[in-house]
Amino acid sequence: MEQFRVIEVRESILADNNADAERLRRELKEQGTFLLNLMSSPGAGKTTLLKGTIAALGGELRMGVMEADIDSDVDAAAIAATGVRAIQLHTGGMCHLDADMTRQGLTAFGTEDLDLVVLENVGNLVCPAEFDTGAVKNAVILSVPEGHDKPLKYPLMFEVADVLLINKIDVLPYFDFDLDKLTEYAHMRRPGLEIFPLSAKTGEGMDAWTDWLRRQTAAWRQS
């Protein structure tokens, strides 16, 4: 039988990306722009959450949103309608963004006059967690209909998260969702992870989330 070698290249690729991500963070720091990487499954409510966030913070922070999708400009159009700067990033079939792709988007977008930029990553709980985008913080949305066991099934996503948003709590009575179990499982993956239950649709719990984002943005600009 013919012999062959298997070469693992993933570590080298990620190492290069991580170094590029660190450079991007330094550049954002110099210009005082806070970049948030927002991740979730499709349909978890990222765009609705962003619209509520813009309504709460748009009057005090200069905001922009980069929408990443395999195709379409539906989300970018929805965000642009709120009045903030928006751009659509097409990934060409890739299920995530990396640091270089994020940099390309930021360059085309223009961030020097923005306090806060939100990158709405491609919707899934696997690939986006593997690549450092250069963001200052990572936020993950988990919606009630998805179930409370997702930190057990997709551990890396919750390990890289700085904050976890439990969306659609307005439908809690209709689903077998255990918030205490979700908290337990999430803290197994990242002890001390901040968790905010909320409903982007009704506005319940949104103040705690926007206060956190306001504090994080101010701390980044002042440090």
Higher pLDDT, 33 or 69: 33
Distance CA(132)–CA(159), nearest Å, equals: 13
| pLDDT recorded at residue 154 | 97
- Position 93 confidence tier, pLDDT thresholds 50, 70, 90: low
Identity (one letter) of the amino acid at 199? S
Q: Are 44 and 158 in contact (CB under 8 A)?
A: no
**What is the pLDDT, as a whole number, of residue 172?**
98
Question: Across all residues in the chain, what is the average pLDDT?
Answer: 91
Average pLDDT over residues 38-52: 95
Which pLDDT does position 74 carry in this prediction? 79
Instruction: List all residues 6 or more positions away from 71 whose beta carbon is below 8 Å from its beta carbon.
Output: 90
pTM for this model (two decimals) = 0.92
pLDDT for 70 equals: 62
pLDDT for residue 1 is more than 60 = no
Q: Of 58, 77, 163, which is closest to residue 116 (Cα–Cα)?
A: 58
Give the per-residue pLDDT at 9: 46
Q: Binning pLDDT at 50, 70 and 90, where does residue 5 land?
A: low
